[in-house]
């Protein structure tokens, strides 16, 4: 497992991120890394710890995706996540889900584990199918989140054998337009959550 602390305390964080699965990403022509998916036992606790080190503030929300198909089986899951940006990268904190062990298996004692690398794309199915055709990495989870006015489609691929990292394709749409994640809104709501002491909202 790759621990986030190793990257966070590296001499060059940006280069350390770019080194993650670099050969695999280059071989298969993947876009630049947008997101680091970080599995934690408690999102609010982890967010507070990272904020003390100058990251964030985190926007934290709890809810359930409208679609979660895991290895061909549709499941009802719910969980909590936190989003913030650090040196141009989106950090996504993820608690273990209710209804699936997709994140649970990446929990580690005394640290934050990098579970996946996220890539912004215009069509998650096209990229997932393309990567499955080009490699031994099949589709793991196909899902969708909705929170008006946004819809987020995502596809997680099977973990890479060499390091356990998962590649995720993400497509954000706001009012049907492919505009990407609303960074300013995340930061603003995260700041309000922190000021009010209500660290999580329900979506």
In a domain, 28, yes or no: no
Whole-number pLDDT of residue 185:
86
In a domain, 183, yes or no: no
Mean pLDDT (whole number) for 82-102? 96
Q: How confident is the model at residue 55 (pLDDT cuts 50, 70, 90)?
A: very high
Mean pLDDT (whole number) for 20-32? 97
Residue 141 above 90 pLDDT?
yes
In a domain, 185, yes or no: no
CA 168, 171, 174, 177: dihedral to nearest 10 degrees? Answer: 170
Domain of residue 130, CATH code: 3.10.180.10
Count of beta carbons in the 10 Å neighbourhood of residue 176: 8
**How does pLDDT run across 157-172, given as a tens digit for each residue?**
999 999 999 999 999 9
In a domain, 93, yes or no: yes
**21 phi-psi bin (left φ>0, alpha ψ -120 to 50, beta other):** left
In a domain, 24, yes or no: no
Residue 109 above 80 pLDDT?
no
Find, among 202, 181, 185, 196, the residue nearest to 60 by Cα: 202
Whole-number pLDDT of residue 51:
96
Residue 180 above 80 pLDDT?
no
In a domain, 18, yes or no: no
Residue 112 above 90 pLDDT?
yes
In a domain, 91, yes or no: yes
In a domain, 145, yes or no: yes
Q: Is the separation of the CB atoms in 172 and 123 below 8 Å?
A: no
Q: How many angstroms separate the most distant Cα atoms in the chain? A: 48
Residue 29 above 90 pLDDT?
yes
C-alpha to C-alpha distance for 99 and 79, rounded to whole angstroms? 9
Q: How confident is the model at residue 149 (pLDDT cuts 50, 70, 90)?
A: confident
Count of beta carbons in the 10 Å neighbourhood of residue 93: 26
**Residue 16: both structure tokens together:** 């350390």
Q: What's the domain range around 98? A: 2-13+33-174
Whole-number pLDDT of residue 167:
98
**What is the tally of structural domains in the chain?**
1
Q: How confident is the model at residue 108 (pLDDT cuts 50, 70, 90)?
A: confident
**Residue tagged 């999102």 (tokens):** 43
Q: What percent of the chain has pLDDT over 90?
A: 85
Q: Is the separation of the CB atoms in 67 and 143 below 8 Å?
A: yes
Residue 179 above 80 pLDDT?
no
């Amino acid at each position: 497992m790759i621990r986030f602390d190793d990257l966070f305390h590296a001499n060059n964080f940006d280069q350390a991120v770019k080194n993650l699965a670099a050969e695999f990403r280059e071989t298969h022509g993947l876009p630049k890394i947008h997101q680091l998916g970080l599995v934690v036992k408690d999102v609010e606790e982890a967010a507070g710890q990272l904020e003390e080190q100058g990251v964030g503030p985190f926007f934290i929300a709890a809810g359930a995706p409208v679609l979660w198909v895991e290895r061909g089986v549709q499941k009802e899951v719910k969980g909590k996540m936190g989003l913030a940006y650090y040196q141009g990268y989106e950090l996504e904190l993820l608690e273990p889900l209710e209804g699936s062990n997709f994140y649970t298996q990446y929990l580690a004692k005394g640290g934050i584990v990098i579970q996946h690398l996220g890539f912004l794309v215009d069509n998650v199915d096209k990229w997932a199918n393309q990567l499955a055709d080009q490699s031994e990495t099949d589709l793991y989870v196909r899902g969708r989140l909705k929170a008006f006015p946004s819809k987020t489609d995502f596809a997680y691929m099977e973990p890479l054998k060499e390091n356990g990292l998962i590649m995720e394709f993400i497509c954000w749409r706001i009012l049907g337009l492919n505009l990407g994640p609303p960074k300013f809104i995340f930061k603003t709501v995260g700041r309000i959550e922190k000021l009010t002491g209500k660290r999580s909202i329900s979506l």
